[in-house]
Amino acid sequence: MATQSPACQLLARQDADYRGWLWVAPPRDGWLESGEGLVWSADLDVCTAWQGVGRPAYGALTPPSIGAPGAVLFWPKSHALGTWWLTALNAALPAGTRLQIVGENQGGIKRVPKVLASLDQACRKLDTARRCTLFATRTRGNIGDTESAWRTLTVDGLTLATHPGVFGHGKLDDGTRLLMEAVTRSPLPASGKAVTRALDVGCGDGILTAWLARKGCEVTAGDINAFAVEATRRTLAANRLSGRVVQSDVYDNVDATFDAIVSNPPFHQERAIDYGPAERLIREAPAHLVGGGSLTLVANAFLPYPEWLRAAFGEFEVLADDRRFRVYRAIKARR
């Protein structure tokens, strides 16, 4: 069993029978995955891990009809996303179902009593330890509309669908802007084909996907987060553009080769830095590119991407550098 996260350490010391409970938006944690109950998560990695040990996992965003005796919500760092989960749980579970909410003190958990009060739900503190807090309440039945959390914004003439917890929520990320400007100045290398087949890894709200589709690319987009997948689908539909959108951990559910891979890859997992997805993006890119195909990505200037690019491609160029972000391009050699 893997080391428990602080929130799970707090839960493990409770004198509570969690058998059959619903675990909502949890982290990867061996204690949870080796226990009982089922998971509801927008994170493909979490759902895959639970399914891998024979545990029920629900990854869709539509509130399921669940008869669990209780649920534990792991409070996310996004206050608005936490409110969405509370609204969804009230719709998914019968009124009066026990509901616990746990999270790290630095992650916004202390705001939960006010959030519950705004939903007219009683709240009591159960425990504090490991710099985490655990609250208890009960569901009230359907108290709101989960659809109301979706918003739209306009960027560069494109309508973007945005949701709490999705990268770039409500604004255009500065790194993504720099990437788009760099690709405008230095277009994706021509492959000799009538249509450029492009892959957007870590699509977020779909800005790059829609932008590439508007340029005439045949686009595939992927993200590990179900909210991002839905946001990108909505973004394409809002702009009457076409593209394939899949929930995927980097390349896991992508079964094609491309003329170009374009990405603003993630490197954060909650507050910790996680280089894993970005390193995979770079090191495995040549296997997903045709000869002469390109990888173009943006990254914070301090990140160790150059060494991975050299290892995967041999050489690369810097298309843009504003001291905060750099845009890199590497091209797979033709055989």
Q: What is the pLDDT of residue 123?
A: 95
Residues 141 and 154 reside in one and the same domain: no
1 in a domain, yes or no?
A: no
Place 57 in a pLDDT band, splitting at 50, 70 and 90: very high
Residues 19 and 128 both lie in one domain: yes
**Mean per-residue pLDDT, 172-176:** 92
Q: How far is CA 25 from CA 72, 128, 168, in A?
A: 9, 20, 20
Scanning the structure block, which residue is given the tokens 């391009």?
329
* Residues 196, 60 within the same domain: no
* Structural domain for 174, as ranges: 150-331
Distance, CA of 36 to CA of 136 (rounded, Å) = 20
Amino acid at 223: D
Per the domain annotation, does 287 fall within a domain?
yes
CATH for 120: 3.40.50.150
Distance CA 39, CA 64 (A): 11
* Same domain flag for 322 and 214: yes
Average pLDDT estimate for 270-293: 84
Q: Are strands 268-269 and 70-74 parallel, antiparallel or unpaired?
A: unpaired
Q: What is the pLDDT of residue 191?
A: 66
213 within 8 A of 160, measured Cβ to Cβ:
no
Domain end call among 147, 162, 177: 147
| Domains: count for the chain | 2
Domain termination residue (choose one: 89, 121, 147):
147
Confidence of residue 130 (pLDDT cuts 50, 70, 90): very high
Residues 223 and 110 in one domain: no
Query: Which is higher by pLDDT, 63 or 261?
Result: 261
What's the pLDDT band for 145 if we cut at 50, 70, 90? confident
Contacts of 14 (CB under 8 A, 6+ apart): 126, 127, 134
pLDDT in tens, 75-96: 999 999 999 999 999 999 999 9
